[in-house]
Chains A and B, each alone.
Chain A
Amino acid sequence: MRRLRAIRGVSYPEPGKSLEIVYEAGGRSKLTAEQRAQVRIKEVAPGEWCDDFPIKTRDHFIAKGAIEFVHVEEKEKNLARRRGRVKGEK
């Protein structure tokens, strides 16, 4: 399974209504006080998952090294392999 993980701290509107409001306004700095009250911002610390990162800028943030795709099962398997706990492997 592929998951998205933050390498550096990132912040973005929650998907759905919050993201729609921000995009419609043209950015977080252009929100009215009323719109701002409706928008929920997600703060993700380095090392935490951010699978719902906005698709529009996802590739840009990956290219900048701010977030990354992680193959979770493989990672877990690798960890287990390093510990010598994978069945059928020496």
Chain B
Amino acid sequence: MAGKYGSPHGFLLVDGYNLLAAKLASLRMKIIALQTPSHGIGDADEEHSPTGICRAEIVQEGGFWSTAALNIHAAMEGKIAAHTPQAVPRIVCLGFAEQIVGRQFSGFVGAFQGEYEVVAEGGDLQKANVTYLVTGKHEPGQIVQESGAQIEILTASAETPTTVTTAKPHRLANGQTCRIAGNSQATLNADNIATVVTPTTFTVPVDLSVAGAGAGGTVIQYNSADWDTEDQSVDWTVCPLNRAITILTSSAASPTVITTDVPHGLTNGQLVLIAGHSEGDANGEHVATVTSTTTFTIPVDLIAGGGTGGTLVQANTLAGAAGYQQVTEYADFDGVIGKLRDSPDDAAYGDLIVFTNVTSAPAKERKLSVIGTVDRYLAYNGDVTGAGNIIVFSGCSRL
């Protein structure tokens, strides 16, 4: 992942519950590929073979536990009851780089076990450590729909409409419904339609010209009508999970043979995006015909002379996808159908994964795509029936 991220950037969703503790001291994730002993009588050395199963250990240390609805107390009280024996597989979405469309997350599905350790020390508030063990699939992917993050409000101006200034980018869309809570001016604490002014300011139709400026509180964005994220689609070619491979040469032939310095990992028929190659015709998207682990051809005529340099990345994937959806808040709708969509050109989109109709929260689902080809761009579409509001997280892992 590019850049550096700090403790405010983690998130942990389990079966539609937000299990991240407040004021967390640390959040860790460890993934172990499980092996089983495979030696027998007559073997001189110990042998182990991979089982194909991963175990993820997720640890929260030193947190103050939130008693808000659908947060950790509600979950630990018995809804998930992670510290009791259970056979129900849980769906976990964990991220360290903040819930922003396009950022990485880790999806898990499998048996879920927890340890809850209360820590009471003299002269300190009560804290606790929690360890979760998930045994099953680990599927890294990209966030396609971020769930409503709580953004801190700095000020609300003494005018009509009032201008709300946030401590960091609010990521609201023009006309989107947002919920303001905890502001010093009580009239502002409600669901409002936002008009975006700048990335950290927006106006809401509330008159504070007489009551005076407000301060503090948070704003949460949520969806109250049909929506999609196609205006902020996720491009696979710039995802850190899609490793850029250095090109050594392209041959003077038609079709030209591309040689890479390390195994390219492409599948026959996969699209590649080439950039920075010395022969311009080779740059752009092409269908690859794999000839070896470090060579493939593209349908480009370079008989006049081969080239050197540049990089390639995959421009689609061919093995399907696993979609994750977690609904942390839901009210009043008759139903909401979430869809992951893909597109080869960021213009025309088609349904890739259609999740089950959601009628309550918490709700969670992991669903596989029916088709193998997953195009370059991904987006999320929410199709609502009736009136209400919803906060939903969705991510997609290419298999």
Residues on A facing B (Cβ under 8 Å): 8-13, 19, 22-23, 26-31, 33, 36, 41, 46, 53-54, 56-57, 60-61, 64-67
Query: Is B339 interfacial (CB-CB < 8 Å)?
Result: yes
3 closest residue pairs by CB, A with B:
A27-B346, A12-B348, A66-B350
| Pairwise interchain contact B350-A9, C-beta atoms closer than 8 A | yes
Residues on B facing A (Cβ under 8 Å): 174, 228, 230-233, 235, 339, 341, 343-351, 354, 371, 373, 377, 381
By a CB distance below 8 angstroms, the chain A residues around B349 are 10-12
| Pairwise interchain contact A28-B346, C-beta atoms closer than 8 A | yes
| Pairwise interchain contact A30-B347, C-beta atoms closer than 8 A | no
| Pairwise interchain contact B350-A61, C-beta atoms closer than 8 A | yes
Of B345, B373, B381, the residue contacting A64 (CB under 8 A) is: B373
By a CB distance below 8 angstroms, the chain A residues around B351 are 8-10, 46, 66
**CA distance in complex: A87, B105 (Å):** 62
**CA distance in complex: A36, B67 (Å):** 41
| Pairwise interchain contact A22-B344, C-beta atoms closer than 8 A | no
**CA distance in complex: A30, B371 (Å):** 27
Of A33, A57, A67, the residue contacting B347 (CB under 8 A) is: A57
| Pairwise interchain contact B348-A9, C-beta atoms closer than 8 A | no
**Besides A33-B174, A67-B350, 11 new A-B residue pairs in contact (Cβ under 8 A), listed by A number:** A10-B350, A11-B348, A22-B347, A27-B346, A28-B230, A28-B233, A36-B231, A53-B348, A57-B343, A60-B344, A61-B350
Q: Contacts A64-B373, A66-B351 hold; do A30 and B228 have CB atoms under 8 A apart?
A: no
| Pairwise interchain contact A29-B371, C-beta atoms closer than 8 A | no
Residue of A nearest to B345 (CB): A57
**CA distance in complex: A27, B233 (Å):** 9
By a CB distance below 8 angstroms, the chain B residues around A46 are 351
Task: Give the distance to chain A from B269, nearest Cβ to Cβ, in Å.
Answer: 11
By a CB distance below 8 angstroms, the chain B residues around A66 are 350-351
**CA distance in complex: A53, B348 (Å):** 8
| Pairwise interchain contact B231-A29, C-beta atoms closer than 8 A | yes
Of B174, B230, B344, B354, the residue contacting A29 (CB under 8 A) is: B230
By a CB distance below 8 angstroms, the chain B residues around A27 are 233, 345-347, 377
Residue of A nearest to B337 (CB): A9
Q: Contacts A31-B231, A66-B350 hold; do A11 and B341 have CB atoms under 8 A apart?
A: yes
| Pairwise interchain contact B339-A29, C-beta atoms closer than 8 A | no
By a CB distance below 8 angstroms, the chain B residues around A9 are 339, 341, 350-351, 354, 381
| Pairwise interchain contact B371-A13, C-beta atoms closer than 8 A | no
**CA distance in complex: A61, B231 (Å):** 20
**CA distance in complex: A31, B231 (Å):** 7
Q: Contacts A27-B377, A29-B377, A64-B371 hold; do A11 and B230 have CB atoms under 8 A apart?
A: yes
**CA distance in complex: A66, B351 (Å):** 8
**CA distance in complex: A31, B346 (Å):** 11
| Pairwise interchain contact A29-B228, C-beta atoms closer than 8 A | no
| Pairwise interchain contact A29-B233, C-beta atoms closer than 8 A | yes
| Pairwise interchain contact B231-A64, C-beta atoms closer than 8 A | no
By a CB distance below 8 angstroms, the chain A residues around B344 are 57, 60
Q: Which of B344, B349, B354 has the most CB of A within 10 A?
A: B349
By a CB distance below 8 angstroms, the chain A residues around B339 are 9
By a CB distance below 8 angstroms, the chain A residues around B371 are 64-65
| Pairwise interchain contact B230-A61, C-beta atoms closer than 8 A | no
By a CB distance below 8 angstroms, the chain A residues around B174 are 33
| Pairwise interchain contact B373-A29, C-beta atoms closer than 8 A | no
Q: Contacts A11-B230, A11-B341 hold; do A29 and B346 have CB atoms under 8 A apart?
A: yes
Task: Give the distance to chain B from A64, nearest Cβ to Cβ, in Å.
Answer: 6
Q: Contacts A27-B377, A29-B377, A64-B373 hold; do A12 and B347 have CB atoms under 8 A apart?
A: yes
